[in-house]
Each structure stands twice: as C-alpha cells, then as structure tokens.
C-alpha cells in the first residue's frame, strides 16, 4: 500500500490558482432534520482536496448538492467564477461537475462505452451526416478506448458492464467524467471496497487527472489515504464546515480531533491481551474447489484472530463456509470439540457461532424492520411463547442491548434504515450478542463507519474477547487488524500463507505476505 | 489513441468479437426460441401434414400479427422495468369503438378508423404513462387498475350490444385476407413495423435510454436521463399500438362484444418474456418478443390441428414461461461469470496480483438490478 509514501510536499503547488468551484454557506433541511448547516468548500484546479467528517457530518448532502441531486435551501455555488443553480444531475454535468459514488451507478446490461456516453452518445450527425440522429457506435467505442488509454487502463469499451469489479466500475465512472470534460470530479469513498493494489491504481489515475488540471474532491474514512493523495483538506462536523487547510503540517491526530471535536481515548486500540483459553473453533484442511484450499487454523476462547489478505483472497468465503452459508468440498469444522454439520447455518448457530456479515445492509439487517425486531431476529425462539413472539420480551431485549452497546436510535420501533451506519452495525452485533455466542465471526466490522463509532466497535470486540468469546475478524484495514487482534492469519489466492502474533506483526510483513512478496520473511510461516 | 495505433481491420475484427459477447446473449435467447419453434413445427407436421398447408400458415401469421404488434409495445414498457397490463382492455375498447364507427358512419374511410383506434389507445396509454411517470405509482398497480377501469368503460358503452360482420364493410374484413405472394399483407406490415422498432431501440439515444432506465433506474436518474419522459412515452406508444391492434382485431374476427381482448394482456406479457425480454428490464429485443408471439400462436394452432384439448395450450404456455425465466437467470449468471473471469488486462504487468483469480467472487460484480445508495 502506498501509505504516506508521497507526501503532500511533492504535489504541485496550487495555492495561487483561482478556485474552479466554490460552495459557500449552503444549508439543507429534510423536514425537521438539518442535514447541512454550513456547507462550504473551495476547489482549485489541479488539487486533490479531502473532505472529512464522521458519518452524519453532512458530507453526503454536500456531495449531492454538487451533483445537482439536492438543491440547497440557502447559500451560493460558484463554478468557474459564475454563480450557478443546479436544477438536476444534468445541470451539474453541464457545469463540468462529475460525481463518482461509493457504489458506482452503472448499467449492467449496457456496454462499457455506452455506460460512459449514455444519453449523449456520439451521433452520425457529428461527423458530417447531416441530421442523422443515429448513434455512431464506432466513434463511441473509439472515444472510450482513447480515454482508457489516457487513464492507462486497458478496459474493453465493447464489453457489458455486468461482471466488472468495483475498481473497474470506478474507472468507467472516471472515464465518463473525463469524456464530459469535467473540471471537478467528486469521489465519494472510492476506496471503500478496493484492495490495496486497486487503491494504488486508482491513485495513479487520480494523479493523471490532477496533472490534467482537474479539481478532485476526495472523500475517505481512511486517513492514511488522505495523506497519501491529497493536498488540502476540508473537515466537516455536524453539518457545518470546521476547517480548510493545506494538509502539510497537519497530523492524523489533528484531523481526527477536528472531525470528532474531542480527543479519542485510544487509537488504534490495543490488542485484547487476555490469556486465551480452550479452542472454540478448529478448522482442519477446509477446501472448496477453486475458492480456497487446505485451510487449517484454530480460534481459542478470549482470542481475537484476524483473517487478513487482499480483497478476493478468499477470506469471506472461508468465513461463510465455516458458518455454513456456503458448501465446502473437504475438511472439517469443529466448534467447542463437536464437529459441525456442513452447510447448515442453523447448526452453526446452535453450536454458538454468531456471524456479522460484510454487507450489513443486504445481509446483516432487514432494513425495513424496526430496530427492535432486528435485534431480536436471531433470538426469536427464546423470545416467543407458543409460537407467538412476545413483544414485551423483544422490547426488553432491544432496550437492554441498545443501552449496553450505546446504540443511538429515535424509537425502538423506527426502521433500522434510519440509523447511521455505525449504529446499524451495533444492531447487527446486538442481534448476535443476544445469543451469547462462544464464537463471533465479524466480516469488515467497521466498513463505512465513522471514526468515533469505529473505536467503540473495537472496544466492544476487545471486551467481548475478555469475557471469553473467541472472535474471528476479517478486515481490509490494516490498522484495525494490527491494533485489535492477538493473531493475524494472512490469506493469498485461496491459501493460508502466513501467521503472525500481535508482537511479530507490522504493516510491512502483513502486506508483503498478502501480496506474495515475502522471500525474506519466512519466520512467519505456519508450516 | 490506442484505436488509431491498431491496424484498422484488426481493430474492427476485435471490436466485432467483443460486441458479439453482449449480442450473442440476445442471439442465444432468440435462436433458442427459434429452435423450439422449429422443433414444434417439425413434430406437428410429421404427425399431421395439414399443419404446413398454405392456408394454415396464413391463418397462423394473421393470428400472430395483432399479438406481435402488442408484444412490440409491451417490450418497450418491459425493457424500462415496467409492465402494461391494460393492453387487453385497450384492444377491447378500441375494437368496439372502431367497429361502431362503421355502424354510425357508413362509408367512413378505413384509415380514419385506424386513426381513431390509435387515438383511443393513445389516450389510455397517456393515462397510464402519466400515473407511472409523473405520479410515481408502480406500473403493475396502475395498469392493473386501468385494466379494470377501461374494461368497465367498455362494458358501460357496449352493454349487451354486439357489432357483427354484416355491419362492417367488406374492404375492412378483407384486410387480414389480402396477401402478397401468399403472405398476408398485414403480416408483412407488422414485420416491417417490428424491424423499425428493433432498429430504433438499437440505434437511437431515446431507445438506448429505455434499456438504461430498465437496467438501473437510479443510475439513469443520476445520469440526467429524462426517465419520466421516456417511461411516459413507452406507455403512450404501447397504448397507441394496442389501439391499432384493436382495429385489426375487429377486422379479423368481425364480431365484437364487450369481451373482446379479455385476457390478452397476460398472453402478451408471456410472449414478451418467452421471447427473451428480461422481466425486470434492461435487456431483450423486439424481434425476440415477436418470435415469442409467433411461438405461442403456433403452439395453440398445433394443438388444435392435432386435436388436443386447449387445456394443454395454457399448460404449455405456462411451462414455456417457467423455462424462459429459468433460462434467463442461467444465461445472466453464466454471462456474469464469463465476464468476471475475462480480465480486461487492467492490471499492470508485475502488479501485485498477476492473473489473480477471484475465488467465487461474490461482491464485486453488478448483480442485482436494484443498486441503491443514499
């Protein structure tokens, strides 16, 4: 990972340039909720500008104002020296603003080239044939290919977007922005779902754009990325602008303080450090054809074991197989001494495993159900009598766990979709903790969660381990892996390639193992 | 420019090969039902030689025309991830009102009657389109409601009346019977209209917009596409086509009462789905839908010729629907996997993951149509 390798110092000096975009004192309310109190940001050509803030700080609203999706209640937006009002996404596009959302918004059934040019495909009329409103497919593909060439990414313009990796989908979105001659490119958490190698490639693309004088607004929860790629930073808190400054001279601590408005007690958290007990999970030679091979490891009670590696190395797949969501072809999973039935989440749950999945919105929660119902979901048998769920028991359980995990909610009957990402994740945790699991599998427990809540989740995991629960954690965030876990297992291309104790582990050795560059690091090998 | 550095011919060749991957899917779907059609015709003919008589072929083609026309309109709507269930009622209303024009105004020119039918259908389509596109009511609900409302209006107007062939001019009743070189005129006309529709959907921005909207409605809105206008137009066109189909219906059957076209909507949706148009939008073609219509008509006709109860007709239609949908899923899955494994060479040589295979990659692909974000 290219962490802080190229500091702000070797970035071009943009201090003198006049801003290409300026949003001043924008406000936006949705009903009684004031999402944006003072949205202000200033972008200069050729700069990569970080926009930081906890979830709920108003970043998304600000982005949607720039995208023309929301219209501000008040405030001014100036683009290229002209005050503009963006009535819709098309107007933003015309003003030269392109937005790349966290989850790329492509059309899976259309080709890559069509995705870039949708609604404004080159026409035959553009090249002579007067009044010919037919699409010039050839010109479209050529233009797309030229843009990918410029970005240095050889994507095939004629293939359908279906099946593209998230990283490639983002490249298509960036290509779209380029084809629009966008002067301002907003990237909303572009790295959230990328592996380290893909992040590096994205950064190269961003530097290319920067060299071509585009202004880039870069939103990320990962501070090391901000320091690696950005020149200036704007921090927001509670819907308002807190600071805008050159990054040079600022520390991660400064930024975190600005974001949360308080000192964080611990960051990153310490490892559990408790004395591990008996093995709760033993995985022996687990194999699934073409996905992972010969995976063996144990998790003992009171121990946090991290499963690390690049996105796509097979980490989540192993976890899913252990929990019984996916089948496996060979091997054995043993929980607290008893062999576990294959491919049966029910028996995994009965054996005391809890599973917090990677995608909390799709897999962890039922978004339309209430906070209370979601918390109770895995404990319904305990909460019901004669086949009927006792609402009072459900409420008592939700209230109890809500208080214990400090979940912030309006009412227990509110749909869980109304909570912030961090609080949603706490609901998922509460759901499983209610079953008093002996082993908890957590997949990307803090993805898309703001800094403050992230620390709370970390503490929670450590406390759980101290109380004797074994925890298997999958995480793509190295500081999290290094900070929280007692042992780190590294997977690469479907195989377990290294194991490190908390003391042995460092960012360098884990990344090297994950990327297969460990010739001089044999000491960590398990076999 | 990478394109410019490639020899021209080579570039065209590779472009064609790539494009085919997407288009092959349509072709797989279309040729699939075409194969079923051929097998069906072959088997039936082997048992009952009369099946391929000129008269029977003509009969089947005429029978298919109204159906294929409706499938064309329905395809536009379904591609945009909507559905129009009101077409059967529109056919009924337009069939009666247009036939009644001949009763009320003897000697009225036939083109005027077609225009009237088109107008009636357009009005219905505009109502549907307005409620779906501007009122943002799900199309399933809107058109289910107008299915009943339009049928209700039809019954109010028609009552127990009936227009029969004796009050219709012969020139009108001959429309389905006229042939050029043995092929019914209207079959040729409808084939032309379908060809134009197919070409339009492939080569014009507004046509591609429909695919984009059906493929990912949220993204379409974010891309600044005129989603409401396009969906509205799709419903208006579907309605207008149903109006014209209604006029053809009365020419074909001659006897029109308040039940004309009842149940047609589900047959049309079936034809569209059997023809390979994804029920959740984004892919499929007008040609496929038309072949689907031809297949369903052929099956009815074959069962009739073979003397099999028409109960089997419906059972087989239902079965084909299931097969079509299962096939659709399989093809989409296969395609997604094929495309995933086809690494576009996007990794630099010597990058961290040379030839890295995503084991059972679950996440990265665009899988479900409903991408959401807040």
Number of domains chain A is built from = 4
Give the global pTM. 0.71
Structure-model confidence comparison of residues A258 and B146, the more confident one? B146
CA distances from B119 to A433, A512, B115, B155, B285 (A): 64, 71, 6, 19, 26
pLDDT for position A527: 37
Report the range out of A99-103, A268-272, A355-359 with the highest average pLDDT.
A355-359
- Claim to verify: residue A94 and residue A121 sit in the same structural domain: no
Length of chain A: 527
Nearest CB to B366 within list A162, A290, A310? A162
Residue A190 CA to residue B122 CA, distance in Å, equals 45
Burial class for B326, CB neighbours closer than 10 Å (0-12, 13-18, 19+):
exposed
Tell me, yes or no, whether A338 and A208 share the same domain: no
Residue A283 clears pLDDT 90, i.e. is over it: yes
Asked if the structure places residue A16 within a domain, the reply is no
A22-36, A415-429, B100-114 — most confident range? B100-114
On whether both A209 and A112 belong to a single domain, the answer is no
Select the residue from A92, A118, A136, A203 to test the B interface by mutation, using most B Cβ atoms within 10 A: A118
What ipTM was estimated for this complex?
0.78
A191-238 pLDDT, tens digit per residue, is 877 777 888 888 988 998 899 899 999 998 778 889 999 999 999 988
- Among the partner-chain residues B19, B205, B218, the one whose CB lies closest to the CB of A119 is B205
pLDDT at A7 over 70: no
Give the pLDDT confidence score for residue A16 in this predicted structure: 56
Tell me whether residue A453 is in a domain: yes
Q: Is residue B371 over pLDDT 50?
A: no
Residue B186 to residue B182: CA distance in whole angstroms: 12
Residues in chain A with CB shorter than 8 Å from the CB of B371 are 103, 105
Question: Pick from B21, B346, B352: which is nearest to A154 by CB?
Answer: B346
Top residue of A162, A203, A516 to mutate, by most chain B CBs within 10 Å, is: A162
- For residue A306, being part of any structural domain is answered with yes
| A186 and A98 within one domain | yes
**B 113-142 residues with CB below 8 A of A?**
none
Residues 299-358 of B with CB under 8 A from A: 332, 335-340, 342, 344-348, 351-353, 356-358
Say if residue A520 is in the same domain as residue A446: yes
Average pLDDT over residues A399-421: 86
Give residue B310's pLDDT: 77
Residues of B in contact with A171 (CB under 8 A): 346
CB nearest B223 (choices: A60, A118, A196): A118
Which of B366, B370, B374 to mutate against chain A (most A CBs within 10 Å)?
Answer: B366
> In terms of Cα–Cα distance, which of B48, B21, B24 is closest to B305?
B48
Between B208, B365, B369, which is nearest A118 by CB? B208
pLDDT in tens, A71-85: 999 999 999 888 999
- What DSSP state is assigned to residue A289? T
Task: Decide which of A388, A413, A430 is a domain's last residue.
Answer: A430
- In this structure, the answer to whether residues A453 and A519 fall within a common structural domain is yes
Does the beta-carbon distance from A89 to B204 stay under 8 Å? Answer: no
Mean pLDDT of the B345-365 span: 34
Selection from B294, B251, B273, B306 nearest residue B38 by Cα:
B294
Single out the residue of A211, A216, A102, A214 nearest to residue A167, CA to CA: A102
Phi, psi of A162 (to 5 degrees): -55, 130
Residue-wise pLDDT tens digits, B164-192: 999 999 999 999 988 888 899 999 999 99
The pLDDT tens digits of the residues spanning B235-265 come to 999 999 999 999 999 999 999 999 999 989 9
C-beta atoms of A160 and B335 within 8 A:
yes
Contact A430, A401 (CB under 8 A): yes
Q: Which CATH number fits domain B26-333: 2.60.120, 1.10.3470, 1.20.1440, 3.40.50?
A: 1.10.3470
Residue A336 lies in a domain: yes
Selected residues 267-286 of chain B with any CB under 8 Å from a CB in chain A = 278, 282-283
Same domain flag for A1 and A66: yes
d(CA B349, CA B37): 49
Left, alpha or beta for A456 (phi > 0: left; psi -120 to 50: alpha)?
Answer: alpha
pLDDT digits (tens, 9 = 90+) for A24-59: 999 998 766 678 999 999 999 999 999 988 766 788
Please say if the pLDDT value at position A510 is more than 60. Answer: yes
Contacts of A197 in chain B (CB under 8 A): 347, 351-353
Residue entry with tokens 């790329």: A104
What's the confidence (pLDDT) of residue A270? 55
Same domain, A405 and A454: no
Tell me, yes or no, whether A27 lies in a domain. Answer: no
Higher-scoring residue by pLDDT: A298, B365: A298
Contact A109 B204 (CB under 8 A): no
Confidence of residue B31 (pLDDT cuts 50, 70, 90): confident
Residue B52's pLDDT band (boundaries 50, 70, 90)? confident
In a domain, A398, yes or no: yes
The 3-state secondary structure of A219-278, one letter per residue:
ECCCHHHHHHHCCEEEEEECCEEEEEEECCCCCHHHHHHHHHCCCCCCCCCCCCCCCCCC
Q: Which helix (H) or strand (E) holds A371?
A: helix A371-376
Three-state DSSP class for residue A168: helix
Q: Do A521 and A483 lie in a common domain?
A: yes
> In sequence order, what are the residues at sequence separation of 6 or more whose Cβ sits closer than 8 angstroms to the Cβ of residue A394?
A372, A373, A375, A376, A383
Residue contact B204–A133, C-beta within 8 A: yes
Query: Which of A118, A158, A292 faces B19 most closely, judged by CB atoms?
Result: A158
Q: What is the pLDDT of residues A450-484, one digit of tens each?
A: 777 888 888 889 888 988 899 999 987 777 888 88
ω before A268 within 30° of 0 (cis)? yes
Q: Do A163 and B338 touch (CB under 8 A)?
A: yes
Q: Which residues pair with A500 in a beta bridge?
A: A488
SS in 3 state form for B72-91? HHHHHHHHCCCCCCCHHHHH
Residue B173 C-alpha from the chain's centroid: 26
Q: Which range marks the domain in which residue A347 is found?
A: 268-352+437-527
Is A359 a domain residue?
A: no
Q: What is the largest CA-CA distance in chain B?
A: 82
Q: Which of A63, A87, A107 to mutate to test the interface with B (most CBs of B within 10 A)?
A: A107
- Are B374 and A105 in contact, with CB atoms under 8 Å apart? no
Average model confidence (pLDDT) across chain B: 82
Are A113 and A187 within one domain?
Answer: no
Percent of chain B at pLDDT > 70 equals: 83
Are A449 and A328 in the same domain?
A: yes
Asked if the model's pLDDT at residue A302 lies above 80, the reply is: yes
User: Which residue in the set B19, B215, B224 is minimally distant from A107, CB to CB?
Assistant: B215
- Whether residues A98 and A135 fall in one domain: no
Least Cα separation, residue A197 to chain B (angstroms): 6
Residues on chain B touching A316 (C-beta within 8 angstroms): 362-363
Provide the pLDDT confidence category of residue B148 given band limits of 50, 70 and 90.
very high
Mutate to test the interface with A, among B2, B336, B346 (most CBs of A within 10 A): B346
Range with top average pLDDT, A436-445, A465-474, B139-148: B139-148
Does the residue A79 lie in any domain?
A: no
């Amino acid at each position: 990972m290219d962490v802080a390798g190229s500091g702000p110092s070797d970035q071009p000096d943009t201090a003198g340039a006049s801003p290409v975009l300026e949003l001043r004192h924008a406000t936006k309310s949705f009903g009684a909720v004031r999402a944006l109190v003072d949205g202000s940001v200033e972008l200069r050509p050729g700069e990569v500008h970080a926009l930081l803030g906890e979830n709920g700080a108003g970043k998304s609203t600000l982005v949607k104002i720039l995208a023309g999706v929301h219209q501000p209640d008040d405030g001014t937006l100036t683009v290229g020296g002209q005050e503009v009002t963006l009535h819709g996404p098309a107007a933003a596009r015309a003003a030269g603003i392109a937005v790349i959302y966290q989850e790329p918004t492509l059309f899976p059934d259309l080709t890559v080239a069509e995705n870039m040019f949708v609604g404004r495909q080159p026409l035959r009329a553009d090249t002579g044939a007067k009044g010919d409103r037919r699409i010039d497919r050839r010109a479209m593909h050529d233009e797309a290919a030229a843009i990918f060439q410029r970005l240095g990414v050889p994507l095939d313009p004629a293939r359908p977007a279906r099946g593209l990796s998230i990283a490639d989908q983002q490249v298509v979105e960036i290509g779209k922005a380029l084809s629009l001659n966008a002067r301002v490119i907003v990237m909303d958490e572009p790295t959230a779902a990328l592996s380290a190698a893909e992040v590096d490639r994205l950064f190269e693309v961003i530097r290319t754009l920067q060299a071509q004088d585009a202004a880039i607004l870069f939103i990320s929860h990962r501070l090391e990325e901000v320091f690696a790629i950005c020149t200036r930073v704007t921090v927001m808190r509670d819907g308002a602008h807190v600071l805008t400054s050159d990054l040079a001279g600022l520390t991660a601590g400064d930024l975190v303080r600005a974001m949360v408005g308080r000192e964080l007690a611990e960051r990153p958290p310490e490892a559990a450090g408790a004395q591990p007990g008996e093995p709760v999970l033993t995985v022996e030679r687990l194999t699934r054809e073409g996905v992972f091979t010969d995976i063996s490891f144990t998790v003992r009670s009171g121990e946090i074991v991290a499963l690390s590696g690049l996105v796509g190395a097979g980490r989540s797949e192993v976890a899913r197989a252990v929990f019984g969501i996916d089948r496996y072809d060979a091997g054995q999973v043993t929980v607290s001494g008893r062999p576990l039935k294959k491919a049966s989440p029910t028996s995994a749950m009965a054996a005391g495993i809890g599973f917090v999945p990677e995608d909390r919105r799709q897999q962890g929660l039922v978004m339309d159900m209430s906070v209370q119902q979601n918390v109770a979901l895995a404990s319904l048998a305990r909460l019901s009598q004669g086949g009927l769920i006792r609402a009072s028991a459900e409420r008592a359980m939700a209230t109890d766990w809500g208080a214990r995990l400090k979940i912030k909610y309006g009412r227990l009957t509110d749909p869980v979709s109304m909570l912030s990402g961090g609080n949603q994740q706490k609901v998922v945790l509460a759901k499983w903790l209610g079953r008093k699991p002996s082993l908890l599998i957590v997949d990307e427990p803090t993805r898309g969660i703001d800094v403050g809540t992230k620390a709370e989740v970390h503490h929670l995991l450590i406390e759980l381990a101290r109380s004797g629960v074994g925890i298997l954690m999958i995480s793509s965030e190295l500081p999290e892996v290094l900070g929280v876990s007692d042992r780190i297992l590294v997977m690469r291309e479907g195989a377990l390639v290294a194991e490190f104790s908390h003391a042995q582990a460092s960012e360098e050795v884990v990344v090297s193992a994950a990327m297969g560059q460990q010739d001089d690091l044999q000491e960590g090998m398990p076999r | 420019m990478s394109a410019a550095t490639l020899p021209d011919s080579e570039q065209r060749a590779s472009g064609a090969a790539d494009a085919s991957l997407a288009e092959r899917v349509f072709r797989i779907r279309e040729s699939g039902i075409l194969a079923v059609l051929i097998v069906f015709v072959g088997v039936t003919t082997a048992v009952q030689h009369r099946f391929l008589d000129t008269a029977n072929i003509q009969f089947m083609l005429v029978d298919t025309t109204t159906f294929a026309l409706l499938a064309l309109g329905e395809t536009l709507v379904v591609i945009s991830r909507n559905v129009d269930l009101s077409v059967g009622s529109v056919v009924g209303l337009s069939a009666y009102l247009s036939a009644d024009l001949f009763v009320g105004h003897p000697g009225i020119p036939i083109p005027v009657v077609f225009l009237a039918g088109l107008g009636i259908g357009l009005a219905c389509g505009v109502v549907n389109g307005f409620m779906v596109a501007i009122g943002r009511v799900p199309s399933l609900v809107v058109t289910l409601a107008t299915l009943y409302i339009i049928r209700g209006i039809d019954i109010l107007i028609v009552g127990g009346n009936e227009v029969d062939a004796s009050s219709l001019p012969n020139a009108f009743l001959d429309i389905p019977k006229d042939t050029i070189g043995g092929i019914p005129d209207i079959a040729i006309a409808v084939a032309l209209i379908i060809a134009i529709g197919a070409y339009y959907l492939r080569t014009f921005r507004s046509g591609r917009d429909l695919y984009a909207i059906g493929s990912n409605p949220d993204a379409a809105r974010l891309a600044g596409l005129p989603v409401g206008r396009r969906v509205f137009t799709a419903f208006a066109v579907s309605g207008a086509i149903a109006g014209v189909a209604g006029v053809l219906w009365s020419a074909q059957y001659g006897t029109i009462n308040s039940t004309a076209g009842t149940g047609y909507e589900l047959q049309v949706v079936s034809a569209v789905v059997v023809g390979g148009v994804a029920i959740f939008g984004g892919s499929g073609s007008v040609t496929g839908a038309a072949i689907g219509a031809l297949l369903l008509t052929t099956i009815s006709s074959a069962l009739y010729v073979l003397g099999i109860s028409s109960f089997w007709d419906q059972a087989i239609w239902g079965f084909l629907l299931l097969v079509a949908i299962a096939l659709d899923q399989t093809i989409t899955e296969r395609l997604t996997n094929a495309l995933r494994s086809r690494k576009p060479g996007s990794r630099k040589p010597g990058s961290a993951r040379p030839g890295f295979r995503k084991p059972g990659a679950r996440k990265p692909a665009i899988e479900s149509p409903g991408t959401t974000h807040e």
